[in-house]
Amino acid sequence: MTKQLTKYLLILLIPSLVCVSCKNVEEKENQKTVTSLKEAYKSDFYMGAAINESQIEEQDSLNTAIISNDFNSITAENIMKSMFVHPEKSVYNFNQTDKFLAFGEKYNMFIHGHTLVWHSQLWPWIAEIQDSTQMANTLEDHIKTIVSRYKGRIDSWDVVNEALNEDGTLRESVFLEVMGASYLPLSFKWAAVADPNTDLYYNDYNMTNPDKRNGAIKLIKNIQNQGVKIDGVGMQGHWHLDTPSIEEIEASIVAYSELGIKVAITELDINLLPRPENLQGAEVNQEFEESEAMNPYPDKLPDAIQNKLAERYKSIFELFLKHRDKISRVTFWGVEDGQSWLNDWPIDGRTNYPLLFDRNLKPKKAYDSILSLKAN
């Protein structure tokens, strides 16, 4: 082969070699390892976690590292509930809530406030009020004081939490008993006055059940029809390995979205333990007796159940991705298994495994199953 011919062939081959090289680099870029939940789902919705006092105060560096690496939204697990933030008529305690805000701002989080109006974990003196005007004034002061304090800093609020019975009727809370149903639109109105730019949500459990879903839709439409701002609905994801079905979850996401509001998946965890026969939703005041049968995995979760949990989370997140245009935020109710409220509810002393990180703060197969959906 002559030198001239060799030179000619090289001229023809070099562009092809360069293209192959570029393609290999591009493929490697596309296949790069996704290292966190928030990075994987950054173009879909916020990935959130409910955090407790020790996590807010950064008492454990590994906990802090997980929260800041994997999540870009936080919710206060307990400290913003009225019994803690408003313990006496004329006394507000913002010590922990200020720390919660500081944590979120330090790590550039979307900050969600939970919750302004709830029938449980109430400030203890509220039951003394029997006059509707006095109750309205008290509730207005409570809402406006808290929301105004964090105006422009809290991105969204659960204004009213769990106001419905399982059949979709209004729960007989102290607010309903004294003020009637007017407390619902008024609560949203007062929150909107205090901070017009924060998103306002109604939040509840069992929101996939048809009767309760219909009740929630009626509640939201009533607020909307009065010209009051309501931006979204929170579907608490206190679900199980077998229920609700993916079809039920999907039907609910679509139904709420059709109201013209955002849908947040809140308080997500998957209960792996047997359910007492008379258990009603996620009502926190229920208690049942201990038994070995109700605590089948006291020391370790079997691999078979780990795999089922991973598949359940994968199926759920496949659905969330399908409806990413409707979902604003997905928030897990805790970070690691040892923190979960399901260890003691509705039976004290049980060992549950509902979250993505185990008690040693190691990611579980469920974590990998969610991350794998966004690996490519």
CA 349 to chain centre: 25
**Among 337, 350, 370, 345, residue whose Cα is nearest residue 63:** 337
Give CA angle at 331 (30, 228), nearest 5°: 120
Cα–Cα distance between 354 and 210 in angstroms, integer?
A: 25
Cα–Cα distance between 163 and 306 in angstroms, integer?
A: 34
Give the residue carrying structure tokens 């049968």: 293
User: Exposure pattern of 24-51 as b/e (b: 16+ CB <10 Å)?
Assistant: eeeeeeeeeeeebbbebbeebbbbbbbb
> 199: part of which helix (H) or strand (E)?
strand 199-204
Active-site pick, 29, 172, 267, 283: 267
β-strand 46-51 against 327-332: which pairing, if any?
Answer: parallel
Q: Are 242 and 263 in contact (CB under 8 A)?
A: no
By 3-state DSSP, what share of the chain in percent is helix, strand and coil, each rounded to 5? 45, 15, 40
Mark whether 29 is an active-site residue. Answer: no
Active-site pick, 26, 162, 277, 318: 162
C-alpha dihedral over 117, 121, 124, 127, to 10 degrees?
Answer: 60
Beta-carbon contacts of 242 under 8 Å, excluding residues fewer than 6 positions away, are none
**Among 308, 331, 330, residue whose Cα is nearest residue 319:** 330
Mark whether 267 is an active-site residue. Answer: yes
**Among 334, 376, 331, 329, residue whose Cα is nearest residue 359:** 334
The residues annotated as belonging to the active site are 162, 267
